Amino acid sequence: MNGASLWRALDQGAAHRPALSGTEEAEIAIVGAGVAGLSLACELAAAGRSVCVIEADEPGSGALGASAGIVAPQLVRTTPNKVLARLGPEVGPGWLRLVGESGSHLFDLISALNIDCDARPQGFIAPARGVDAGARLEAIVQEWRPFRRDLTALDAADTAQMTGCRGYDAAILDASGGGVNPLRLAAGLAARSVEAGAQLFHHSRVGDLERVGERWRLHAGAGTLWAKQVVLCANGGNQSLHPALDSTVLPMRVHELSTSPVSQNLRASVLPGGQALTDLEPDIFSIRFAEGGRMITYYPVSGGATRAGVEKAVNRRLSQMLNAFEPIRIEHLWEGVAWMNSSLLPRIVALGPGLLAIQACNGRGIATNAIVGREISRMLLSDGRYRPTIAYESPNPIARVPFMRHVPDMMLRMARAVRQARTGLLGR
């Protein structure tokens, strides 16, 4: 079930830009106009480099524009100590600092570039359940301490008051998170990169790229682009652009929905401080407010579900979750694909001379991919002298992809079934 997103409905239409045609040249080619590609383009163009961004559709057409717009500068299903153990003492600390800094970086960038995208830097809350939740989350905050000091562990009472939700035993409050309108963020970054001198081509899907002498040749539709350096920022689309990236990510279909504007009463009770929320439970619950007092929430929609069925199920879930529940109407229900790599950590992959890729989306990349874009720009601008905070990694193919590609969806469905069984609500 895939309708237009709230962001698309609020959108005035992307600025018209041409498709690639004929032969163009640039020093640096960026494939994909999501947050990774556009933040990189902004930095490079502002530094006076010759940059060309090639986008298959329009800016924000991928995961960015389908997202809930939650700025969550947090790790996904892992902890700082596990990241340190995985990445080692050379790379791990800088990497954690980068994630910790990513929310402030994004809001600072939005403000410095004067991008009108309904930025809400009021914070992000990650609540959890269980008798050990308080100790678990306090330990995570302590693990973060050497790298950032903007996290607070909340007890059950503070969590209930700050979220307006029932049943949580603790939470992490991340003061550097919040929310944005992701499509307007994309449009703003695209406009600023063009103003700074970047070329941006819409409706130009890069079909292949090849090394010819000291340069790369990219083909998109009827056009060709030559560049000394290429950065692949096409998210799941990277896979088809280089054989080493094939089978390195798995798709996860994610549905988001927005309600019609909710009552003042509901607005005042749920997230009264204006933060965004995504919990740490297997059956993820996520909620935030957007333009016009609309509520956005994630719901795992099964194949064959009707819109009326989804509305009923969402109301049932909200009635369990919210203290001041009032029935909601779904205004927009949309679907996107988040791409997961094996570590759930963003990576920079070096694929050969003058060819880099940013991977991956991991369902929480708005802040992190923006700062990874900045890291790559620093590397390219220093001609390799800048030592990146995030190290290059080798492509890491996932085994048995035909089976594994169903695993993220299966896990979401299983988590929902377990929750429904627990609450005695099996069936619709």
Ligand X SMILES: Cc1cc2nc3c(=O)[nH]c(=O)nc-3n(C[C@H](O)[C@H](O)[C@H](O)COP(=O)(O)OP(=O)(O)OC[C@H]3O[C@@H](n4cnc5c(N)ncnc54)[C@H](O)[C@@H]3O)c2cc1C
The residues of the shown chain that bind ligand X, judged by CB under 6 A, are 31-37, 54-57, 61-64, 66-70, 72, 205-206, 233-235, 237, 254, 256, 336-338, 361, 363-367, 369
Query: What strands lie across the sheet with 250-259, from one edge to the other?
Result: 151-154, 170-174, 124-128, 276-278, 286-290, 294-298, 250-259, 330-340
Residue 44, number of CB atoms within 10 A of its CB:
27
Phi, psi of 60 (to 5 degrees): 80, 10
What's the rounded Cα separation, in Å, for the pair 327 and 181?
24
Q: Least CB distance from residue 301 to ligand X, whole Å?
A: 11
The residues near 22 (Cβ < 8 Å, ≥ 6 apart) are 222, 223, 224
Q: Find residue 226's DSSP bridge partners.
A: 25, 217
Residue 84 or 220: the one with the smaller Cβ distance to ligand X is 220
Residue 40 or 160: the one with the smaller Cβ distance to ligand X is 40
Q: Least CB distance from residue 61 to ligand X, whole Å?
A: 4
- β-pairing verdict for 355-359 and 223-232: parallel
Residue 162 or 185: the one with the smaller Cβ distance to ligand X is 185
Q: Least CB distance from residue 306 to ligand X, whole Å?
A: 20
Q: Least CB distance from residue 77 to ligand X, whole Å?
A: 14
Residue 99 or 169: the one with the smaller Cβ distance to ligand X is 99
Q: Least CB distance from residue 254 to ligand X, whole Å?
A: 4
Residue 208 or 326: the one with the smaller Cβ distance to ligand X is 208
Residue 92 or 365: the one with the smaller Cβ distance to ligand X is 365
Q: Kindly give the interhelix angle for 35-46 and 182-195, rounded to the nearest 10 degrees.
A: 30
Q: Least CB distance from residue 33 to ligand X, whole Å?
A: 5
Q: Least CB distance from residue 130 to ligand X, whole Å?
A: 24
Residue 25 or 57: the one with the smaller Cβ distance to ligand X is 57
Phi, psi of 406 (to 5 degrees): -90, -10
Q: Least CB distance from residue 374 to ligand X, whole Å?
A: 13
What's the rounded Cα separation, in Å, for the pair 57 and 63?
12
Cβ atoms of 16 and 188 within 8 Å: the answer is no
Angle (nearest 5°) at CA 143 between 272 and 109 = 55
Q: Least CB distance from residue 356 to ligand X, whole Å?
A: 13
Question: Residue holding tokens 């740490």?
Answer: 280
Residue 52 or 141: the one with the smaller Cβ distance to ligand X is 52
Residue 90 or 210: the one with the smaller Cβ distance to ligand X is 210
Q: Least CB distance from residue 396 to ligand X, whole Å?
A: 17
Task: Indicate the helix (H) or strand (E) that contains 350.
Answer: strand 347-352
Residue type, 387: R
Q: Least CB distance from residue 7 to ligand X, whole Å?
A: 11
* Alpha-carbon distances, residue 9 vs 57, 62, 183, 414 (angstroms): 17, 16, 10, 32
Residue 169 or 416: the one with the smaller Cβ distance to ligand X is 416
Residue 400: Cβ-neighbour burial (10 angstroms; 0-12, 13-18, 19+): exposed
Residue 72 or 133: the one with the smaller Cβ distance to ligand X is 72
CB burial readout 313-330, b (16+ within 10 A) else e = bbbebbeebbeebeebeb
The whole-angstrom distance between residue 43's C-alpha and the CA centroid of its chain comes to 19
Residue 358: Cβ-neighbour burial (10 angstroms; 0-12, 13-18, 19+): buried
